[in-house]
Structure 1
Amino acid sequence: MTDSSSLPVRDLRQITVRPILHEEDSRWNALMRTHHYLGFRSLVGESLKYVALSGSEWVALLGWGAAAFKCGDRDRWIGWAPPEQFRRLRYIANNQRFLILPEARTPHLASRVLGLCLRRLSSDWRRQFNHPILLAETFVDPSRFAGTCYKAAGWICLGETRGFGRNGGVYYAHGQKKTVWVRPLHARAPAILAAPFDDPLLLGGSMSALPVDSLRLDGETGLFTLLRTTVRDPRKARGIRHNYLSVLLVG
């Protein structure tokens, strides 16, 4: 084991993070397989692999893939209903692997790398898969890690899983509870993910026709609530005869 006191003190301002090149894939896989406590086979779903560098030296690796199909704490925090959840899971990326390479361990490097990666994750995802990422998530084994680097990088701890896994569409109990962490990549991420209709951000900036037949009007995620909490009445009090929500809905 490397003595951390003998490691070089790195200038964190010089750290860069980028997606790996095609010819670097085998090296990334081998390092992750060798040094990560879970080993490595592959990432799940749409995925991107990143490398963090200090000059030309590889210092950390990150792997992002598909979000967990279900997660109680995350789903309650977002506030979405099942129809929106299943349609919009692709706007969440799961940090399935994160590794600081043994010879590169130095204070605050992990949170610096996470922060740099999150700055570009959504744009890289849009370039590769034609849609943005609004929320990052990860699951941390509390018997091994406290999640300190995620907290330092602005992530939110939502709670703890129940210790279930999913294989081939079937859930099973494995008893390994993990802490649930999320990091919004957009200020309105939960509202956009839970809304009864697609935000223009999810449609590449253009609004398509709304599915009127299935549009919910009442409830916490209904149209009335959305308009009441996001649209300010610009009219002066004098002369107002009609509720502005009624005016908007008629329009």
Structure 2
Amino acid sequence: MKITDIPFSILRTQYRIARIPLTLFERGVLDRMEPEAPARVFYRRAVGALDAAAGSALRDTDLEERGLAEVQRAAELGEAARLDEVAERRVQQADAQLREKRRQAEAAPQEARTKAQRKIADARTQADATKQAATENAAARTSAAKKRIDDAADQKIKAAQKAKTNAQNRSRAAEKSVTNAAKAELDDAADKRRAANGARAHADRLDELGDAEKEKRQAARARKP
């Protein structure tokens, strides 16, 4: 770890500690709500944006990606909830139209009652068809939105895992390079040490030969008359 990264590491730890109450609130309160509840969607979007901003500021890629994924998921759920509301309004409008036609039929003269009853039956059939279509359409869009959320989350998880693996590989490569350099320096020092020992032994041998030659000359001079 670089020295410049230490303050960010401390800040990341402090942020995780400060986020503990939010985590407890999520587990104790939000998890009891429906996934598409407006309060839960609003909270997820706000906290996701907070995590994304904190991750960017603190150089925490994982935190930033989780925050962005949470914001996207909240947006998708909000859209799904909006579609459900639209479908519900259409159902209510169809029911209101059916009640109005029934009221008109009940107030119509006897000679027009048969015609009005036919209109009521047609209106009921149309209302049922509209309600069914709106429900199926909302369910299909909700399912598609949730699938997009899951796919996006899987892609971000895979990207984060790949980035983590690449970082580990670079770390191992750097460690291996340092190890090889250190080993080369040790081998070079050993070679120099052996060379020095050899030179020292050669010098000692020369000294021994010189002493022997000196003793030989002295002995020769001593034997001369």
Fold shared by both chains (TM-score > 0.5) = no
Q: Which structure's CA Rg is the greater one?
A: 2
How does the TM-score come out when normalised to structure 1? 0.23
More strand by share: 1
How does the TM-score come out when normalised to structure 2? 0.24
More helix by share: 2
